[in-house]
Amino acid sequence: MSFDRYLPICQPLRCAAIMAQQLCILLLVAAWVSGFTFMSSHLGLLSKLTFCASNKIQHFSCDNSPLFQLSCSDTSLLWRTDSVLTLFTVLGSLCLTLSSYVCIFFCILHVPSGRKKDFATCSSHLIASAIAFGSCLVLCSQPSEHASLETSKTVALLSTVLYPFFNPFTSSLRNKLVALVLKDATAHARVQLFPHS
Q: Which residues does 123 contact at the CB level (< 8 Å), separation at least 6?
A: 170, 173
Q: How far is CA 85 from CA 36, 81, 92, 120, 188, in A?
A: 13, 6, 10, 34, 48
Question: What residue spans define the domains of the chain?
Answer: 75-193
Contacts from 177-181 at CB under 8 Å and sequence distance 24+? 179/120
- pTM listed for this prediction: 0.67
Residue bearing the bigger pLDDT, 65 or 43: 43
Assess contact for 142 and 79: CB atoms under 8 A. no
- The alpha helices in 47-162, defined as continuous H runs, are 65-70, 76-110, 115-141, 149-157
pLDDT at 148: 64
157-175 residues labelled b (16+ CB within 10 A) or e (exposed): eebeeeeeeeeeebeebee
Once rounded to an integer, what is the mean pLDDT over residues 154-166? 74
Confidence category of residue 29, pLDDT binned at 50, 70, 90: very high
Q: What is the pLDDT of residue 53?
A: 66
CA angle at 150 for the pair 126 and 161, rounded to the nearest 5°: 35
Task: State yes or no: pLDDT of 145 exceeds 60.
Answer: no
pLDDT of residue 33: 92
